[in-house]
Chains A and B, each alone.
Chain A
Amino acid sequence: MRRRRSTWDGFSYYRPEPPKAVKGGIRARSQRGAFASQWWGRRWIATLEGFSIGARLGRGRSYARGGQVADLTIEPGRVTAAVQGTRSKPYAVEIRLKVLTQAQWGEVLAALAEQPIQAARLLAGEMPPSFEELFQGLHFSLFPARQDDLKTQCSCPDWSNPCKHIAAVYYLLGEAFDGDPFLLLKLRGMEREALFARLGTAGSGPREREVERAAETAEPLPADPAAFWRGAPAADGPWIPGAPAPVNAAAVKRLGPFPFWRGREDFMNAMERLYNEAAAALARDPGETPHS
């Protein structure tokens, strides 16, 4: 085995040891280069990288890529995670971020209403740059501006802050925000449903319409033979078959990646592979004879 060089991180000599492997850990999607491909995910990461220097970050990156983060939960104002280090028990990580007050959110929502494109883009999975400007215009910041805005904690013995475990969580958060900008808003205190319920100045309050079919009322079966054996007459004319999927896995692509995916293979790749394979199998054997 190659001898690892010890490095000076400004505090002590530190000999890197490989962490214990985790099965089914949350693995970062990016395996090389920068994390997060969207600007807001990168901005999130940039704020971290602005706060600290040194080898910790690099170690955090490799932890995130290696799937060492075993668990991660986002709540308003708080992120908790379990990260597997060199010890047998994973370390508990907590990141706290100040939430905006209700009144502050009220101002944000009013501003959002002025520019519907913002909310539309969010729903489409992107955060327009003007979104940050909107916050700045109200003198709020979307991302942590100063190191004090973030309160982080980790049960590992490393004294530096952020340690590599916190950094790993941070990188994964960046990627998660990439896929779903609403997670960032959730962290700042506003859940998605609540946002749209309160968006706009009027309306009948946050009434969530029942999305599943209401439980059917059970009607007794009719005893009359004619009604018993026959249903409603079939619709007139043949149904025009719906347009074929323009692109494979279109629905999944619109939804974007599943947050905090732990699978061995990247989520979008796995999904695309499934749908592509299904399409290929269908092309080989359509199954039903087309009308001649």
Chain B
Amino acid sequence: MIILHASWLDRRLLLWGEQSVPASGAVRPRRGRPSASVQAKPLPFGVEGECVEKAINPGPPRWTRTGPGPRATWAWLPTVGGQAVPSSPLIGPLPEEGTAALLPWQIAALPMEGAWAEDLLVRSAERELLEHGLLAGADLRAWAALSGFARELAARQACLPGCESTPNGWAARWHPLLAGEDGERFEALVRALPPSATCLTEKGCAQAPAGRSGEAAKAFLTAVLDVRMRQLLPAVGGGPVDSVHDAWLQALRGDSPLIRWKDAQALSLFADQLARWQRPIRLETQTGLRLNFRLEEPEPSPRPGKRAAAPWRLRYLVQPLEDRSLLVPVGEVWKSRGLAFRALGRGAGEVREWLLAALGQAAALCPPVAASLERREPGEVEFDDGAAHRFLTQFAPALRASGFGLLLPAWWTGRGARPALTLRAQVKSPKMAGAGGLTLAALVQVNWTVMMGGQPLSAGELAALAEFKAPLVRFRGEWMELDPATLGEAAALLGRRGKESLAAGEVLRMALSGRRGERGSVVEEVEADGWIGEMMGRLRGEGRYRPEEPPNGFDGTLRPYQERGYSWLAFLRQWGLGACLADDMGLGKTIQTLALLQREWERGEKRPVLLVCPTSVVQNWVREAARFTPGLKALVHHGTERGRAAAFARTARAHPLVVTSYGLLHRDLDAIRKVRWAGVILDEAQNIKNPETRQSKAARSVPSDYRIALTGTPVENHVGDLWALMEFLNPGLLGTQTAFRRDFYLPIQMEKDAGAAGRLKAMTGPFVLRRLKTDPSVISDLPQKVEMKEYCTLTREQAGLYAAVLKEAEEALEGTEGISRRGLILATLSKLKQVCNHPAQFLKDHSPLDGRSGKLARLTELLGEAMEEGDRALVFTQFAEMGELLRAHLQDAFGRETLFLHGGTPRVRRDRMVERFQTDPDAPPVFILSLKAGGTGLNLTRANHVFHFDRWWNPSVENQATDRAFRIGQHRRVQVRKFVCAGTLEERIDDMIEKKLAVAGQVIGAGESWLTELSDRDLKAVFALSRTAVEE
């Protein structure tokens, strides 16, 4: 694990790092030059220069570094008892006690200049775990946030050209303009800089650096902004430079900021003039005041329905940014007494200059304000209805965009007031007779009524309203907006006597989205009877649920909540509506889906169903299908020997269920599209959350009657991902991507618009079913302990090693007898287990871990899911070495500390780890234990997941381990998963234990010695490696 840091020194940002001490415990000796006066030893866990580069550019280099190389610097770090304190326990142990002092340590630091530095900053801003085993420290991320801010300022052109004096001469510089909110944001970013961001000094410096993070941040911000502007403005061929001004213009572009002009005095004078020229804007951005406009509604007129005679008022208010609750009316500022200025904490001259400038600027954007300035001491403007509406729609957005504060009436949202006119639809349809035949394409009659404030309007009243010509209308004390487009639509509908013929699907869309067409009038209510009414009612979750009978061929029992899920799937299937089953992990999405497939098959569906899932669970699906729906033969389209094109189409049609992986979905898309599928099911559907990826597009392009998406992640939390998912399930429901972005994504994510969030939920809610394992309706159906098997695959490397071990064993076994035979068998058993775990455990070569073991990959996936839900997990392994490998890998993979307890852990430390796991709010979420240590009466009930990475095939030992979590004090349901490598001895032995076989009088499963009683032939059968074991 390497943690990267970035610190500011001498006008540049330097990158350095900490590295975790390798497991072998040997600290690599560092070469360090002795320092002159103050001693600074090389940081034991510092990363050497070249290693810093390697860390950020692993594997085949993505870019080459240009610019200066790493240099030795001193970092002043907290030190306890002569040892530097690392930033995280992932690097090394934190000291238990002792006061820390800042002492210098020698490190290698790399100046961050160039494209690679930008790339690193962008990545660090996005996430903490940059790569497997590489974390970005808090300081690096804080600098990255500043860098992102600078780039945003450049994009918004919030910058002014200026110049400044540098040690190399006068330089042209693009300066950031931090106005209003930008200023506050900058302050917040400065506060987020940790002291480690400014802890570097040159070698030999006698004193610890004083933290000037504000200065450093400003300098950095300016530097990044300047660089960014220069990237956008490459140098053009130098024309003749006749004046300092020409030289300055040239220096604003391209790489070199130095102004090429010899007359120093002229340069200095020019700098002064520039500052004067910039003054009006600088004054605005630095006074720290903001001008607000408050629109006040008139009192209601005594005669309802008539236009209010009293005017609207727009009041001007001054607001200091450091105390937003204070709003001083501008009228007070004109008064001669200094009360207003005392409240604002600023001098009169300054406030008045600022106020006049701000009013002048507002006047340019809003003519009524300009008119008000003709009068002495302007403080407000009066509007009539039309002018008020014009202000709200035209001038207010421009004012807001220029940074003025706007205080508008509560009923005015960003997009307008409540619409005055709404529509109500009445849909008539016959009662559904029988099961099928009806689709969403069927036409139905719709009767429209135009409503205003809950009352229907006649055509005459509508015409009178149109005559009114006021955009804002007050009805029963409430202001509403009269939109001419809606007026037109309403008039057109009434002209047809409100009758229209629509497809049922369109009616459904209208009922869900509340709009007629994509941007049409608001549809307040859709009343429907007959089959449409029933369907819509069930979609909305009303009405009594008619659970479906589980199909006959289903070999297992559905728990009540699973029956409900299955019925829901069946209901949506019937209407050809896409369904997303988003139950928590462990609740049985697989089973519910298989039940549906079985039902379809039994009802006469002859076409195959395509199931797309991650490679690591392909075998799982096959085995679950074999177990619960043995009548559904599954075809695995996977591996190098899979069928191509025509062959595939033929075999696919012969199987009710075809399982393939996401990778093959788009690679073999052509072959897949040639088959007529009944349905397409996506497991772990978050794989298509990005609508632009090939697999996402591929998934959407496979034609089928129905579609199902399965996922464990909470769908509603990620608005951005929702469009891709819904577009797969029900194309067109959420409109185009741009419309979705405009109407939902931006309002919800950026403005936190609750109305938009509510509308989105109303539209997608009927198609998503999500139950948590803590739901009261579920929890009573769940047993306290759910045991599952995870069938994993082997990588090619593992398969190769496995075969090699087998071959060696076969040869060695020939002719051996007795004790040596038994010893050999047990040794082979152990070796094969290690191969199934991880090649590095078997080879004992300290090689990198990632991507070499199917079990490890699956464990990482499952732990990730569990951690996302906030759960904690125990992982058991019988091998202490494997436990250590797991710990290193999981820490690198998730960037979080992982506990590991084995037989050799001293008691005191063991107790501390247990206590930490159980009680510390920030405790590591994963606890690895060796099986032996697991038997020692520990209480680890904070975990509700248990993973058995490898098996000892002694059920009582395993249960005892599981019971660390599953015991008194555990209030949640515990999910236990046992890993089995499919097609290997693990699966076969497991089968034998399940079937409770006995061999030679010994019960299988009480120890492993029964294996030694098997004949050579039986042994070979147990140990054999079948082809399905290997992943693609």
Contacts and interface: CB of A to CB of B under 8 A. Distances in A.
Contact of A124 (B99, B137, B181, B363): B363
B232 A120 contact: no
A117 interface: yes
B198 interface: yes
B692 interface: yes
B181 A242 contact: yes
Contacts, number: 263
B181 A262 contact: no
Nearest to A250: B157
Contacts of A241: 152, 156, 750
A123 B101 CA distance: 54
B102 interface: yes
A258 B348 contact: no
A281 interface: yes
Instruction: Identify the interface centre among A200, A218, A223, A263: most chain B CB within 10 Å of its CB.
Output: A223
Contacts of A270: 249
A274 B94 CA distance: 53
A201 B229 contact: no
Nearest to A21: B242
Interface string A236-251: 0111111111101111
Nearest to B365: A246
A259 B360 contact: no
A196 B353 contact: yes
Interface stretch (A12-20, A50-58, A156-164, A202-210): A202-210
Contacts of A211: 282-283, 286
B142 A124 contact: no
A185 interface: no
Contacts of A267: 245
Contact of A264 (B145, B242, B376, B377): B242
A223 B208 CA distance: 10
Given A209-B350, A223-B100, A225-B100, A254 B280 contact: yes
B374 A244 contact: no
Given A203-B348, A231-B192, A240-B750, A116 B373 contact: yes
B476 to A, nearest CB: 35
Interface in B111-131: 122
A255 interface: yes
A220 B287 CA distance: 29
Contact of A254 (B192, B252, B281): B281
A281 B253 CA distance: 13
A224 B100 contact: yes
A274 B161 contact: yes
B876 to A, nearest CB: 33
Interface stretch (A36-44, A79-87, A99-107, A284-292): A284-292
A275 interface: yes
B217 to A, nearest CB: 10
A246 B399 CA distance: 11
Contact of A221 (B151, B158, B210, B337): B210
A159 B911 CA distance: 105
A277 interface: yes
Contacts of A23: 240, 242-243
B336 A24 contact: no
Contacts of A228: 77-78, 100, 194-196, 199
B359 interface: yes
A69 to B, nearest CB: 12
Interface string A181-209: 00000000000000011111111111111
Contact of B356 (A116, A235, A259): A116
Contact of B157 (A212, A237, A245): A245
B97 interface: no
B452 interface: no
Interface residues of B, number: 112
Contacts of B188: 232, 234-235
Nearest to A121: B360
A218 B213 CA distance: 9
A230 B692 CA distance: 37
Given A201-B336, A202-B336, A228-B77, A116 B376 contact: yes
A70 to B, nearest CB: 9
A277 B195 CA distance: 39
A114 to B, nearest CB: 5
A218 B212 contact: yes
Interface in B203-221: 208-212, 214-215, 218
A218 B192 contact: no
SS class, residues of chain A in contact with chain B: loop
A261 interface: yes
A221 B76 contact: yes
Contacts of A274: 161, 233, 249, 252-253
A203 B195 contact: no
A225 B376 CA distance: 60
A252 B239 CA distance: 23
B947 to A, nearest CB: 32
Given A211-B286, A228-B77, A287-B151, A251 B177 contact: yes
B210 A282 contact: no
A10 interface: no
A221 B373 contact: no
Given A116-B376, A229-B137, A240 B243 contact: no
B182 to A, nearest CB: 6
A216 interface: yes
A224 B209 CA distance: 15
Interface string B1000-1011: 000000000000
B420 to A, nearest CB: 29
Instruction: Identify the interface centre among A255, A263, A267: most chain B CB within 10 Å of its CB.
Output: A263
A24 B101 contact: no
B85 interface: yes
B346 A209 contact: yes
Nearest to A112: B356
B854 to A, nearest CB: 30
B232 A278 contact: yes
B742 interface: no
A248 B156 CA distance: 9
A213 interface: yes
A229 B4 CA distance: 12
B233 A281 contact: yes
Contacts of A216: 212, 214-215
A33 interface: no
Instruction: Identify the interface centre among A198, A204, A213: most chain B CB within 10 Å of its CB.
Output: A204
B155 interface: yes
A119 interface: yes
Contacts of B690: 292
Nearest to B197: A231
B142 A231 contact: yes
B328 interface: no
Interface string B344-370: 001111101100110111011000000
Given A211-B282, A221-B76, A250-B157, A196 B232 contact: no
A197 B351 CA distance: 10
Given A211-B282, A255-B278, 20 more contacts: A23-B243, A117-B373, A120-B359, A123-B360, A124-B361, A204-B338, A209-B346, A213-B214, A228-B195, A229-B137, A231-B192, A234-B145, A245-B157, A254-B280, A254-B361, A262-B245, A263-B246, A264-B246, A279-B157, A292-B691
3 interchain residue pairs of minimum CB distance: A203-B348, A24-B243, A218-B210
22 contacts: A117-B378, A119-B356, A120-B356, A120-B373, A196-B350, A203-B338, A206-B349, A209-B346, A218-B210, A218-B211, A222-B195, A228-B100, A234-B192, A242-B156, A242-B181, A246-B398, A246-B401, A251-B281, A261-B245, A262-B245, A274-B252, A281-B233
Interface of B: 76-78, 85, 87-88, 94, 99-102, 122, 137-139, 142, 145, 148, 151-152, 154-161, 177, 181-182, 185, 188, 191-199, 208-212, 214-215, 218, 229, 231-233, 239-240, 242-246, 249, 252-253, 273-274, 277-278, 280-283, 286-287, 334, 336-338, 341, 346-350, 352-353, 356-357, 359-361, 363-364, 373-378, 398, 400-402, 689-692, 720, 749-752
